[in-house]
Amino acid sequence: MYLHGTSRINEQGHLEIGGVDTTELAAKFGTPLYVFDEQLMRETMRAYKSALEATGLRHEVAYASKAFCTLAMCRIVAEEGLALDVVSGGELHTALKANFPPERIHFHGNNKTPDEIEQALNAGIGAFVVDNFHELELLGALAAEKGVVADILLRLSPGVEVHTHEYISTGQIDSKFGFDLQNGSAQRAIQESLKTKGVRLIGLHSHIGSQIFETEGFKHAVEIVGDLYAKAIHEWGASDLSVLNVGGGFGIRYTEEDAPLLAHQYIEAIGTAVKSTFDRLGLPYPEIVIEPGRSIVGNAGTTLYTIGSIKDIPGVRKYVSVNGGMSDNPRPALYQAVYEAMLANRAREEETEVVSIAGKACESGDMLIWDVKLPSVKAGDVLAVSCTGAYNYSMASNYNRIARPAVVFVQNGQADVVVKRESFDDVVSLDVVPARLLDGVLSQS
Ligand SMILES: Cc1ncc(COP(=O)(O)O)c(C=O)c1O
Ligand SMILES: N[C@@H](CCCC[NH3+])C(=O)O
């Protein structure tokens, strides 16, 4: 398993993260446990900021909170001076509860409800990224009713296809997100928004996909969206346009097959594309906004499990089951995502067998890793699966009424719980038993 950030093997032959022995974490907090390397997250945020600084362009880094959103995470993002991208009332509520500065929040989503729009208007968020005509009309009406003007960006679908898993490619035409350029709805959306009371068009947005390993797609999107930006100013009088948001999607290394670029390589390419496009168009440079999610938290997360049953089918496969699975990491089942792992308690031992890591859900597809080389495993070993920081906790479920794991942040030898482990009572806490069915129910408290 590749060791990211502060991960290392300590003198006891144990995996250590943030200066804390992960076997001690497993013993103290139980497993499954999500462990986040706080220093690595902060360093990555700073790397994006300094790379943007180096372009000389006005800029903002908005962390895409969908990747991992908790109160403590929002506090770190606020402390590091980033903005925050939210896509639901729940993410917005989390940010506001964490006292995240509302003016640094952008609200995304292809179906914001009237209640969510109200919530965001009442909070005074920085900008809405408007996805469709229904939203434009709704937002305009609700803002006008309140006597406010909401700053908006329009989410465009620039028709750029990137080489990534088809479920996570969002810039192509056949997508539920954004206004299409090819069929003229993007052009119409700009003109409509300039006429809509209650909104002020300040920028254009595109997001071409996720887990992207090259820069061509970003450059292409900048050129296409840049052309429309110029048209909006020159032909339709969009005098407040000043922001170009190029979305997120910067890839990370999950396994040795993955070869992502460094933060500054993506940003340099985007900066160069913005300058050449806007020079060509004879326009002042816009403010550049990026929205990384996965690349800020993905490599910083490691999930610890305890190994339980082992089923060896000689000549076929050895199934090694852990006490979690698709309920805490649905990505292998959803996207055939591949992960690496090691035994945290026997990290220096020779890896002698290839096994398959199974989850505990009642589902044949609940497999975390199909083939991983480990020392000869036994029940009670602690398995560490790396790169689980993004879209794991945030996509976890209670399938089979499995309680969700706790989350700890580790740094400088200290471990802090940032999400408590769910109890079975938490799992049933929202269930209601109508009075007519109460007979025989243990207790409803
Ligand atoms: C609009 C938008 N911004 C940002 C992101 C974050 O993407 P990633 O986590 O790949 O950086 C996404 C998700 O793909 C998105 O849809
Ligand atoms: N949830 C996806 C990424 C979604 C990107 C959000 N637009 C994943 O785990 O890879």
Residues 139 and 62 in one domain: yes
Residue 66, ligand 2, Cβ within 6 A:
yes
Q: Which of 296, 318, 352 is the last residue of a domain?
A: 296
Strand, coil or helix: 60: strand
Please check the confidence at residue 443 and state whether its pLDDT lies above 70. no
Nearest alpha carbon to residue 82 among 261, 295, 271, 225: 295
Pair 201, 156: CB distance under 8 Å: no
Q: At what angle do helices 185-195 and 133-146 cross, to 10 degrees?
A: 10
Residue with the two structure tokens 């620039």: 158
Please check the confidence at residue 166 and state whether its pLDDT lies above 60. no
How far is ligand 1, taken at its centre, from the CA of residue 291, in Å? 6
Contacts 24+ apart (CB under 8 A), 185-189: 185/133, 186/154, 186/156, 186/157, 186/228, 187/228, 187/231, 189/130, 189/133, 189/136, 189/154
Residues 195 and 52 in one domain: yes
Strand, coil or helix: 224: helix
Residues 137 and 236 in one domain: yes
Residues 51 and 23 in one domain: no
pLDDT of residue 371: 97
Residues 201 and 244 in one domain: yes
Residues 56 and 152 in one domain: yes
> Per-residue pLDDT tens for 384-429?
999 999 999 999 999 999 999 999 999 999 999 999 999 999 999 9
In a domain, 438, yes or no: no
267 vs 287: CA distance, rounded Å = 13
Domain containing 385 equals: 8-37+298-419
Residue 438: pLDDT band with limits 50, 70, 90: confident
- Which runs of E-coded beta strand occur in 196-352? 199-206, 243-245, 287-290, 301-313, 317-322, 341-343
CATH (domain of 47)? 3.20.20.10
Pair 286, 203: CB distance under 8 Å: yes
Domain count, the chain: 2
Bridge partners of residue 319, in order along the sequence: 311, 356
Nearest alpha carbon to residue 286 among 244, 247, 246: 244
Pair 152, 129: CB distance under 8 Å: yes
Residue 434 neighbours by CB under 8 Å, 6+ apart: none
> Ligand 1: which atom is nearest the Cα of residue 205?
1
pTM score, two decimals?
0.96
Peptide bond into 101 cis (omega under 30): no
Q: Which residue type, as a one-letter code, is found at position 114? A: P
Residue 440: pLDDT band with limits 50, 70, 90: confident
Nearest CA to ligand 2 atom 9: 391
301 vs 398: CA distance, rounded Å = 20
CATH (domain of 414)? 2.40.37.10
Residue 174: pLDDT band with limits 50, 70, 90: confident
How far is ligand 2, taken at its centre, from the CA of residue 288, in Å? 22
Pair 291, 85: CB distance under 8 Å: yes
* Phi, psi of 140, deg, nearest 5: -60, -45
In a domain, 3, yes or no: no
Please check the confidence at residue 200 and state whether its pLDDT lies above 60. yes
Residue with the two structure tokens 């990370």: 252
> Per-residue pLDDT tens for 251-300?
999 999 999 999 999 999 999 999 999 999 999 999 999 999 999 999 99
Residues 28 and 53 in one domain: no
Q: Which of 296, 324, 340 is the last residue of a domain?
A: 296
Ligand nearest to the CA of 329: 2
Cα distance from N-terminal residue to C-terminal residue, the chain:
45
> Per-residue pLDDT tens for 332-363?
999 999 999 999 999 999 999 999 999 999 99
> Per-residue pLDDT tens for 209-242?
999 999 999 999 999 999 999 999 999 999 999 9
Residues 202 and 281 in one domain: yes
Residues 208 and 230 in one domain: yes
Residues 80 and 218 in one domain: yes
Q: What percent of the chain has pLDDT over 90?
A: 94
Residues 262 and 363 in one domain: no
Q: Which residues are designated catalytic?
A: 362
Give the torsion through C-alpha atoms of 385, 88, 159, 238, to 10 deg: -140
Q: What is the DSSP string of 75-108?
A: HHHHHTT-EEEE-SHHHHHHHHHTT--GGGEEE-
- If you average pLDDT over every residue of the chain, what do you get? 96
Q: Which of 296, 328, 345 is the last residue of a domain?
A: 296
Residues 13 and 27 in one domain: yes
Q: Which residues are annotated as a binding site?
A: 249, 291-294, 331, 335, 363, 391
> Ligand 1: which atom is nearest the Cα of residue 211?
10
Please check the confidence at residue 9 and state whether its pLDDT lies above 90. yes
Residue 391, ligand 2, Cβ within 6 A:
yes
pLDDT of residue 444: 54
Q: What percent of the chain has pLDDT over 70?
A: 97
Nearest alpha carbon to residue 355 among 364, 343, 337, 363: 343
